[in-house]
Protein backbone atom coordinates (compact mmCIF):
# COMPACT_ATOMS: atom_id res chain seq x y z
CA UNK A 1 0.00 0.00 0.00
CA UNK A 2 1.43 3.35 -0.98
CA UNK A 3 0.11 6.89 -0.81
CA UNK A 4 -0.54 7.11 -4.54
CA UNK A 5 -3.19 4.42 -4.13
CA UNK A 6 -5.25 6.69 -1.87
CA UNK A 7 -7.57 9.38 -3.18
CA UNK A 8 -7.96 12.84 -1.62
CA UNK A 9 -11.02 11.98 0.50
CA UNK A 10 -9.55 8.61 1.44
CA UNK A 11 -6.52 10.48 2.78
CA UNK A 12 -8.86 12.75 4.74
CA UNK A 13 -10.52 9.68 6.25
CA UNK A 14 -7.10 8.28 7.12
CA UNK A 15 -6.22 11.57 8.81
CA UNK A 16 -9.30 11.28 11.04
CA UNK A 17 -8.30 7.72 11.92
CA UNK A 18 -4.69 8.69 12.63
CA UNK A 19 -5.85 11.57 14.82
CA UNK A 20 -8.53 9.66 16.74
CA UNK A 21 -7.45 6.03 16.58
CA UNK A 22 -10.73 4.08 16.64
CA UNK A 23 -13.96 5.65 15.36
CA UNK A 24 -17.18 4.62 13.68
CA UNK A 25 -18.28 5.77 10.22
CA UNK A 26 -20.68 8.41 11.61
CA UNK A 27 -17.88 10.02 13.63
CA UNK A 28 -15.69 10.10 10.51
CA UNK A 29 -18.52 11.68 8.49
CA UNK A 30 -19.08 14.30 11.20
CA UNK A 31 -15.35 15.12 11.33
CA UNK A 32 -15.12 15.50 7.54
CA UNK A 33 -18.26 17.64 7.42
CA UNK A 34 -16.55 20.25 9.61
CA UNK A 35 -14.54 21.24 6.51
CA UNK A 36 -16.64 20.15 3.52
CA UNK A 37 -19.93 18.46 2.75
CA UNK A 38 -19.77 14.71 2.28
CA UNK A 39 -22.56 12.14 2.43
CA UNK A 40 -22.43 9.42 5.06
CA UNK A 41 -22.99 6.80 2.34
CA UNK A 42 -19.90 8.09 0.52
CA UNK A 43 -17.82 7.70 3.67
CA UNK A 44 -19.10 4.15 4.09
CA UNK A 45 -18.19 3.33 0.47
CA UNK A 46 -14.72 4.83 0.88
CA UNK A 47 -14.18 2.88 4.11
CA UNK A 48 -15.01 -0.37 2.28
CA UNK A 49 -12.49 0.60 -0.40
CA UNK A 50 -9.87 1.37 2.24
CA UNK A 51 -10.50 -2.03 3.81
CA UNK A 52 -10.06 -3.69 0.41
CA UNK A 53 -6.72 -1.87 0.09
CA UNK A 54 -5.81 -3.09 3.60
CA UNK A 55 -5.37 0.47 4.81
CA UNK A 56 -8.03 0.13 7.53
CA UNK A 57 -9.83 -2.61 9.40
CA UNK A 58 -12.81 -2.73 11.73
CA UNK A 59 -14.09 -4.45 14.83
CA UNK A 60 -17.77 -4.83 15.68
CA UNK A 61 -18.72 -3.22 18.99
CA UNK A 62 -22.39 -3.30 20.00
CA UNK A 63 -23.39 -3.95 16.37
CA UNK A 64 -21.39 -0.90 15.21
CA UNK A 65 -18.32 -1.07 12.98
CA UNK A 66 -15.40 0.67 14.66
CA UNK A 67 -12.60 1.43 12.20
CA UNK A 68 -8.89 1.79 12.86
CA UNK A 69 -5.85 2.41 10.62
CA UNK A 70 -3.57 -0.41 9.50
CA UNK A 71 -1.02 1.83 7.80
CA UNK A 72 1.11 4.37 9.61
CA UNK A 73 0.84 8.08 8.88
CA UNK A 74 4.59 8.57 8.62
CA UNK A 75 4.84 5.82 5.97
CA UNK A 76 2.17 7.47 3.82
CA UNK A 77 3.75 10.91 4.32
CA UNK A 78 7.20 9.60 3.41
CA UNK A 79 5.95 7.84 0.27
CA UNK A 80 3.84 10.80 -0.87
CA UNK A 81 6.73 13.21 -0.35
CA UNK A 82 9.19 10.92 -2.14
CA UNK A 83 6.72 10.59 -5.04
CA UNK A 84 6.32 14.37 -5.27
CA UNK A 85 10.07 14.93 -5.23
CA UNK A 86 10.70 12.24 -7.84
CA UNK A 87 7.76 12.96 -10.13
CA UNK A 88 7.70 16.77 -10.07
CA UNK A 89 11.18 17.87 -8.99
CA UNK A 90 13.29 15.26 -10.80
CA UNK A 91 14.45 13.71 -7.53
CA UNK A 92 15.62 17.01 -6.03
CA UNK A 93 14.51 17.77 -2.46
CA UNK A 94 16.26 21.14 -2.87
CA UNK A 95 14.03 21.80 -5.88
CA UNK A 96 10.94 21.23 -3.75
CA UNK A 97 12.21 23.51 -0.98
CA UNK A 98 13.23 26.22 -3.47
CA UNK A 99 9.81 26.05 -5.11
CA UNK A 100 8.06 26.44 -1.76
CA UNK A 101 10.26 29.34 -0.71
CA UNK A 102 9.74 31.15 -4.02
CA UNK A 103 6.04 30.48 -4.54
CA UNK A 104 4.33 30.04 -1.18
CA UNK A 105 3.67 32.47 1.65
CA UNK A 106 5.51 30.82 4.50
CA UNK A 107 5.03 32.39 7.94
CA UNK A 108 8.16 33.71 9.66
CA UNK A 109 7.79 31.16 12.44
CA UNK A 110 7.96 28.31 9.91
CA UNK A 111 10.93 29.91 8.14
CA UNK A 112 12.70 30.03 11.50
CA UNK A 113 11.96 26.34 12.00
CA UNK A 114 13.38 25.57 8.56
CA UNK A 115 16.54 27.57 9.28
CA UNK A 116 16.99 25.70 12.54
CA UNK A 117 16.56 22.33 10.80
CA UNK A 118 19.14 23.28 8.14
CA UNK A 119 21.62 24.68 10.67
CA UNK A 120 21.29 21.62 12.94
CA UNK A 121 21.98 19.26 10.03
Predicted local distance difference test score (pLDDT) of residue 86: 95
What class has domain 1-67? Answer: mainly alpha
Tell me: the pLDDT tens digits for 25-74?
999 999 999 999 999 999 999 999 999 999 999 999 999 999 999 999 99
Helix, strand, coil proportions of the chain in percent (round to 5)?
65, 10, 25
Q: Is 7 helix (H, G, I), strand (E, B) or coil?
A: coil
Range(s) of the chain covered by CATH 1.10.10.10: 1-67
Predicted local distance difference test score (pLDDT) of residue 121: 78
Strand order in the sheet with 64-69: 23-24, 64-69, 56-61
Residue range 84-103: mean pLDDT, rounded: 94
* Alpha-carbon torsion angle 86, 88, 94, 99, nearest 10: -160
Written in H, E and C, the secondary structure of 56-98 is EEEEEECCEEEEEECCCHHHHHHHHHHHHHHHHCCCCHHHHHH
Amino acid sequence: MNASQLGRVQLQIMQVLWDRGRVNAREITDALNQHSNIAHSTVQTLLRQLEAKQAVAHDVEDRTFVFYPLIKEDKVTREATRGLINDIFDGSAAGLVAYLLENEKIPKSELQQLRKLINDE
